[in-house]
């Protein structure tokens, strides 16, 4: 065999009846990995034959999602509807060879036939003399159609129980399974990797290949994704679209890594594998038979790991667009913005989480009453008095993000010993500072937060909190 004949050709064939969801993205990724692993070809085919539900907006969204995930294709997008002439040619070929025939039987007639022959006997029709009726494919009476699935192993379908099924309407418009098989044949697809909801379509598609006299591709039916509750993911149940994940602040490389591991890989879903690793290791036959669980919590965790590893400039630029969406693009102090982003790079798990964590640096704190009640009691007033005195004592060396002496180390050196000095737990000391300067109990590290906010603003906010505390007692 020449290398040209061996070359892997895969396709991703979404129906543009909605956005690209996480399950579809995983199918796209597996196809893409199979192609890149072998130096093969990825074809993008848009299965737009459902004219009522397919829309150009959905096509655009799917392409956009694939591009964002960095899953590039080598051929296409090819519209299935646009291939009507090719489908007609294949249909004619089967009519000419007698592998397909027009049958004028109505649904009632088929029912009557089945009543006579037994319900599990596949319908066999009679060619209409005048060419009227739907076009059916002849299914042999004997033997099995065998799907030798790369993942599921051998799955047998007895031909006897399959109807001579309709492949085209009388107006020449073709049906789904016929179009898919003709397209896969014409495009020289060598491996079909798709969701196992399509396994039941495969015998019909194989029968079309057989009738066309063309060697079929290998099939790899990937188990569908389930949610953490064990239920199948669907558009109505927990299946986030790629666009939603992007807007939620996930990174494409983290999504690629995480969804690759759903059903494939070293056995857990926490392994960090670069795209190069994935390409090198992925083989469709290694995908597991059991369904995998998409757990957004795990994706979050993995995304956090990827965010930490991002080069500083890349991380800043990625965060910036999320922040601009929140602030309406009003200008922020750039130095403070960069410093703020840096101190939460290890903490935030999504790009969207960054702004809520650093917002206090640019706006007066919005006091969370629950946090206030929880923290601002007992020793809090005494703590804040001590803290204020210590911070005032930091010399204005010009160091630090605000050039006022409040460098992280300087702040740390005065605040770190305080719990011991006051004989209080760390929380009792640092939470009141946190609530005073951010309004909440959640913030970046306290030394970093104080340094980022700077001398003037930190002391002003502590002063406000102290007088509120005094009023309260």
Residues annotated as catalytic (active site), given as ranges: 235
Binding residues for ligand GLU, how many (CB under 6 A)? 7
Stretch that binds ligand GLU, among 7-15, 63-71, 224-232, 303-311 (CB under 6 A): 7-15
The number of residues making up the chain comes to: 473
218 closest CA partner among 191, 194, 186, 184? 191
The only residue of 114, 198, 232, 342 in contact with ligand GLU, by rule CB under 6 A: 198
Which residues 6+ apart lie within 8 Å of 457 measured at CB?
437
Query: Which residue do the tokens 């299914």 mark?
Result: 139
Stretch that binds ligand GLU, among 9-17, 158-166, 207-215, 400-408 (CB under 6 A): 9-17
Question: CB-wise, 198 or 305, nearer to ligand GLU?
Answer: 198
The only residue of 13, 78, 410, 436 in contact with ligand GLU, by rule CB under 6 A: 13
Query: Smallest gap, in angstroms, from Cβ of residue 295 to ligand GLU?
Result: 23
Determine phi and psi for 258, rounding to 5 degrees.
Answer: -65, -45
Question: CB-wise, 45 or 461, nearer to ligand GLU?
Answer: 45
The only residue of 26, 194, 204, 466 in contact with ligand GLU, by rule CB under 6 A: 194
Indicate whether 14 belongs to the interface with ligand GLU (CB under 6 A).
Answer: yes
Query: Which residue do the tokens 């101190």 mark?
Result: 343
Stretch that binds ligand GLU, among 11-19, 63-71, 115-123, 167-175 (CB under 6 A): 11-19
Q: Which two tokens stand for residue 105?
A: 């039987």
**Binding residues among 273-302 for ligand GLU as defined by CB under 6 A:** none
Query: Smallest gap, in angstroms, from Cβ of residue 248 to ligand GLU?
Result: 24
The only residue of 29, 179, 180, 380 in contact with ligand GLU, by rule CB under 6 A: 180
How far apart are the C-alpha atoms of 277 and 263, rounded to whole Å?
16
How far apart are the C-alpha atoms of 92 and 84, rounded to whole Å?
12
Helices (H), 146-223: 176-186, 202-212
The only residue of 47, 196, 388, 457 in contact with ligand GLU, by rule CB under 6 A: 47
389 closest CA partner among 339, 326, 462, 329? 462
Contact 401, 452 (CB under 8 A): yes
Q: Which two tokens stand for residue 389?
A: 């005195």
Indicate whether 15 belongs to the interface with ligand GLU (CB under 6 A).
Answer: yes
Instruction: Give the interface with ligand GLU as residue ranges (CB under 6 A).
Output: 13-15, 47, 180, 194, 198
């Amino acid at each position: 065999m020449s290398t040209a004949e061996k070359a892997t050709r895969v396709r991703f064939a979404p129906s543009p009846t909605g956005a690209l969801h996480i399950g579809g993205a995983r199918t796209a990724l597996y196809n893409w990995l199979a192609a890149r692993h072998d130096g093969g070809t990825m074809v993008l085919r848009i299965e737009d034959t459902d004219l009522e539900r397919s829309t150009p907006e959905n096509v655009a969204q799917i392409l956009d999602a694939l591009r964002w995930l960095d899953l590039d294709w080598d051929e296409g997008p090819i519209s299935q509807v646009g291939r009507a002439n090719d489908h007609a040619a294949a249909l004619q070929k089967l009519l000419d060879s007698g592998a397909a025939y027009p049958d004028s039987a109505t649904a009632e007639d088929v029912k009557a036939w089945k009543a006579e022959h037994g319900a599990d006997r596949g319908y066999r029709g009679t060619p209409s003399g005048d060419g009227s009726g739907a076009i059916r494919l002849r299914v042999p009476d004997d033997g099995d159609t065998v799907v030798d699935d790369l993942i599921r192993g051998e799955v047998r379908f007895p031909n006897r129980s399959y109807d001579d099924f309709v492949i085209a309407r009388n107006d020449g418009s073709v049906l789904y399974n016929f179009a898919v098989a003709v397209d896969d044949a014409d495009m020289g697809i060598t491996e079909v990797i798709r969701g196992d909801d399509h396994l039941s379509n495969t015998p019909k598609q194989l029968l079309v290949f057989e009738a066309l006299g063309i060697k079929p591709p290998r099939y790899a039916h990937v188990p569908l994704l389930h949610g953490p509750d064990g239920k199948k993911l669907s558009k109505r149940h927990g299946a986030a679209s790629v666009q939603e994940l992007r807007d939620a602040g996930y990174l494409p490389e983290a999504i690629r890594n995480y969804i690759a591991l759903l059903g494939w890989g070293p056995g857990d879903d926490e392994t960090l594998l670069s795209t190069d690793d994935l390409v090198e290791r992925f083989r469709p036959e290694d995908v597991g038979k059991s369904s995998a669980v998409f757990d957004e919590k795990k994706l979050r965790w993995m995304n956090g790991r990827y965010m930490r590893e991002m080069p500083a400039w890349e991380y800043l630029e990625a965060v910036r667009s999320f922040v601009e969406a929140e602030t309406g693009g009003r200008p922020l102090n750039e130095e403070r913005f960069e410093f703020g982003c840096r101190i939460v790079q290890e903490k935030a798990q999504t790009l969207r989480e960054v702004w809520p964590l650093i917002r206090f640096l640019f706006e007066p704190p919005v006091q969370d009453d629950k946090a206030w009640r929880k923290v601002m009691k007992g020793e809090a007033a005494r703590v804040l008095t001590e803290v204020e005195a210590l911070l005032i004592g930091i010399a204005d060396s010009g160091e630090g993000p605000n050039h006022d002496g409040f460098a992280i180390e300087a702040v740390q050196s005065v605040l770190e010993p305080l719990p011991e000095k006051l004989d209080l737990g760390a929380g009792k000391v640092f939470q009141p500072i946190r609530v005073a300067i951010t309004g909440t109990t959640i913030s970046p590290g306290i030394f970093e937060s104080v340094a980022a906010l700077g001398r003037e603003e930190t002391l002003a906010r502590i002063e406000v909190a102290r007088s509120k505390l005094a009023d309260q007692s």
